[in-house]
A and B are shown apart, each in its own frame.
Chain A
Amino acid sequence: MPTNSALMGFVHRRRRGAELFLLVLALIVGIGAYAAVGLGVDGEVPANLIGYGGWLTLLVVAAHVAVRIVAPYADPVLLPVVAALNGLGLAVIHRVDLAKDTGLASQQLTWMTLGVALFVGTLIALPDHRLLARFTYTSGLAALVLLILPMIPGLGTSINGAKIWISLGPFSFQPGEIAKLLLVVTFAGYLVVHRDALALAGRRVVFVDLPRGRDLGPVLMMWVVSLGILVLQRDLGSSLLFFGLFLVMLYVATERPGWLVVGALLFFGGAATAYRLFSHVQSRVDIWLDPFADADGKGFQLVQALYGFAWGGLVGRGFGEGMPQRVPYVESDFILAAIGEELGLTAVMAVLLLYGLVVERALRAALISRDGFGKLVATGLAAVFALQVFVVIGGVTRLIPLTGLTTPFLSYGGSSLVANWVIIAILLRISDQARRPLPDLAPDAEDPDEQATQIVKVVPER
């Protein structure tokens, strides 16, 4: 609706000052956590606090200045929220480092630097998110190539049973993280062109309007191929994520609630089939149903995480007072268990609220966006974010069976962090376009008298 905001008589303000204020608070959250870790573990403020805090401040200020210059109307809340989450994640990884004597936090800081650089680069290189619509099919192809890459012998590496990594020199990279962003662009670009055909043309079967094969075909193919690759790579979390993403975008684009019913049926069908076919799915479900059946073996990770949450209680044990290192992979998939143990339910709820805010801001950008492509991309990115948080946190807290995914911005993992920073850059670009006031076009052409006297001239057919 181009005139929506004008009709309601308001314009969006830039709110860059509010963003700066929130960023200062976010820095206090990040650097404060780092200082608290030092105080709790070693009994003193860490010696490199100034250097560490300075570097974090530099990154945040760089991102803020870039937003101020190239996206002045962008959403003021998104950047501070992700900066705070990233800062908190760094501190918790540092805490685990101290317990395990590893050096993951400094690697994560390197990845964050790269992430912020790409964030700034994306904002500068992409003055208008609609440019992405040109790369609908290119990005689809790129996503498939990225998903296939880890299956190439020599390039792909198998870590913990999932073949989703490629190693480039010292760093290993998870191309699926970038692929999810590319798939959102592909789905949005395709659906925005074909949504009328998808919603209106076709037959009605029971209670669902099935679209014609030629409309749905390409995107369905794309989705089946990407899901197939992920199932072959035994990457359960990502398959769930892509399935949900596809469903949400189809539902939003066509406005047909029948898709949700179809999707739910497909999901339960697929889940039941996977349970019968794959032993690792069975063991995940068994662990979920009764983690204490094999508390020292298969259920060890989840049981330790649950003990951590219980030991943490309402306000946590305090940094350095817990034993988060007892949980395997506490720095990546199970980072929420470390937060729950040392900072308690209070901090876990704050983290969940922050994730909720990110999703809310993304959906708001989708609501106020003036073009269909922007709406769909923002909705898709919000869905990716929400599903990812739900799947991983639901798994860690034993709400649903555990599937491996990273907690966005908190977990240790370079590819995920970098991809998420780019996602936030695109969301900021969409919200900048949406909140930017329309140019005040001379209203006299809309003079009602002139419109009433307009002569409708019938042009003879030639």
Chain B
Amino acid sequence: MSELTLFLVRIAYLAILWIFVLSAISVIRSDMFGARVPAPASPGKQPRPPKPSSPRRGQPTKVEVVQGVNTGIVADLSQAPILIGRGNDAAIRLDDDYVSTRHARIVESGGQWYVEDLGSTNGTYLGSQRLTQAVPVGLGSQIRIGKTIVELRK
């Protein structure tokens, strides 16, 4: 193996190393701001997407209070988003002292139901986990709000 070949191998390898480094940096650069949201940003003016006509099998259709002062209250999920709280505008109005006025809501996105805490005082729990962001829920998920438990049912 001649000196020149070895020299070329060395230079080529260093070039490859730096091409890799620079490509990684260019990926980071193009990733800096992500992609623009394709939909125009003026919420409220857009027509609301049509409601799914018939709920699919295995999808919950109603929310029911299963434990607490207001056991038995049912709200239909077709009126989503469902606001849960002590306020008058809540779809499920609870007389629980540990519930905030606008406590949590149940919303639908892309065929999946989510529960989201609305900055309540005592928090919304799914199992032992306190919610910090919207979390997907399904049939039979028990959501604890104050001393009340609501459940998604068919």
The residue of chain B having its C-beta at the shortest distance from the C-beta of A445 within the complex is B81
Q: A338 interface residue, CB < 8 Å from B?
A: no
Of A77, A315, A459, which is within 8 A of B24 by CB? Answer: A77
The residue of chain B having its C-beta at the shortest distance from the C-beta of A316 within the complex is B10
A contact residues around B133 at 8 Å (CB): 2, 370-371, 438
A296 to B34, CA, bound (A): 55
Q: B132 interface residue, CB < 8 Å from A?
A: yes
A contact residues around B41 at 8 Å (CB): 9
How many residues of A are in contact with the other chain, CB < 8 A? 67
Contact B14 A346 (CB under 8 A): yes
- The digit string for A407-448, where 1 denotes a CB below 8 A from any CB of B, is 000000000000000000000000000010011111111110
Contact B13 A357 (CB under 8 A): no
A32 to B80, CA, bound (A): 58
Contact A13 B35 (CB under 8 A): yes
A10 to B36, CA, bound (A): 4
If A343-B13, A441-B116, A442-B81 touch, whether A357 touches B87 (CB-CB below 8 Å) is no
| A335 → B minimal CB distance (Å) | 15
Contact A13 B6 (CB under 8 A): no
Q: A43 interface residue, CB < 8 Å from B?
A: yes
Q: A168 interface residue, CB < 8 Å from B?
A: no
Contact B17 A43 (CB under 8 A): no
- The digit string for A4-23, where 1 denotes a CB below 8 A from any CB of B, is 01101111110100100110
If A11-B37, A442-B107 touch, whether A21 touches B112 (CB-CB below 8 Å) is no
Q: B58 interface residue, CB < 8 Å from A?
A: no
A contact residues around B21 at 8 Å (CB): 350, 353-354, 357
Contact A439 B114 (CB under 8 A): yes
Considering only residues 2-59 of chain A, those with a C-beta below 8 Å from chain B are 2, 5-6, 8-13, 15, 18, 21-22, 25-26, 28-29, 32-33, 36, 39-40, 43-44
Q: Which 4 pairs between the two chains have the least Cβ-Cβ distance?
A: A318-B10, A439-B109, A10-B34, A43-B1
Known: A29-B20, A353-B21. 12 other contacts (CB 8 A): A12-B35, A15-B27, A21-B27, A39-B1, A130-B132, A319-B9, A343-B13, A347-B17, A361-B28, A439-B109, A441-B116, A444-B81
